[in-house]
Structure 1
Amino acid sequence: MRDISRKDEDQGQVIDLTPMLDVVFIMLIFFIVTASFIKSPGIDVQKVRTVTAEKTKPSILVGISESDQIWMDKNLIKDNLVKLQLVRLFADNPKGGMVIQVDGNASIEKIALVADAAREVGITKISVSTLND
């Protein structure tokens, strides 16, 4: 008989999870709204330090790694596809410029390849990202 009365007590206690779910969804919305999204080319590079560096808001970011790999939109781009990728990115924002983030040990040939492709596409505002001392 004892077991029967215990079952009746357990059935009477119900935990309402609705307020907890409301709080969880409110927190989720808060974090989504307050999160800051940063554009990056997909790799970390060691920038060269300069005295005259300026801060700009680029619309196209290109990264060139120490091993001369070219990155755009977090994707590794082959040399022969650089111009095609720049055409696509420039079509999204034709008034924007381009910033090339170059590793200090990258070759000048890769920088020239990207800059030449950008000029052919029609990008006139081309900058090289450096560190400011």
Structure 2
Amino acid sequence: MGIKRSHENDEAEVDMTPMLDIVFIMLIFFIVTTSFVKESGLDMNRPKATQANADPKKKSILVRVNEYGNIIINNRNVDPERVEAYIESLLAENPTDTIVLDAHDDATHETIVIVADQVKSLGLNIAVVSKP
């Protein structure tokens, strides 16, 4: 007669290693494919109270952006591509380190940023006029 052995200690075990491998691979996939977006901003220097007592002989250059997107410098219409050159010609006549930027509420941000970039490339400070 054959002897039947009972295997009471044999339990079905699940090997967790492949599942952990898949979880880690998915984690790495999501980390690598996630795009980290850094929002860029425009750095503006706000005038301080000590700058109010500046040299009264120095005149600042007024740059206005109206609601239609027109750029007006010292009461003259200027193309967006020519802002830097026009300001350079004004600086030759009247050296200053500050540009006053007066933008209408309905002016596009794109036009304001174009003007601010060109003024910053000249190394000048921007004073932004805000109306209540």
> Structure 1 stretches of 5 or more lacking a match?
1-53
In the alignment, is residue 117 of structure 1 matched against residue 103 of structure 2? no
CA distance in 1, matches of 2:66, 2:108: 9
Q: Structure 1 pair 94/130, CA: closer, same or farther in 2 (3 Å)?
A: same
* Partner residue in 2 for 1:81: 82
Alignment partner of 1:88: what SS? helix
TM-score, normalization by structure 1 = 0.52
Preserved CA contact (<8 Å) 1:99 1:128: yes
- TM superposition shift of 1:114: 0.7
Q: Identify which of structures 1 and 2 has the higher relative contact order when contacts are C-alpha pairs closer than 8 Å and 6+ apart.
A: 1
Moved more, 65-74 or 84-93: 84-93
Shift of 1:91: 2.4
1:39 equivalent in structure 2: none
CA distance in 2, matches of 1:74, 1:126: 18
The equivalent residue for 1:131 is 131
Paired position in structure 2 for 1:70:
71
Partner of 1:34: none
Higher alpha-carbon deviation: 89-98 or 59-68: 89-98
In structure 2, the residue matched to 1:17 is none
**1:20-42 Cα distance to aligned partner (Å, 9 max, x none):** xxxxxxxxxxxxxxxxxxxxxxx
Which structure shows the bigger proportion of residues in helix conformation?
A: 1
The alignment-based identity, stated in percent, is 27
8 A Cα contact 1:86 1:117, kept in partner: no
Q: Which has the larger radius of gyration?
A: 2
Task: Name the SS for the 1:80 alignment partner.
Answer: helix
Q: Could you list the runs of 5+ residues in structure 2 that have no partner in the other structure?
A: 1-48
CA RMSD of superposed structures (Å): 2.3
Match of 1:101 in 2: 102
How many pairs does the alignment contain? 78
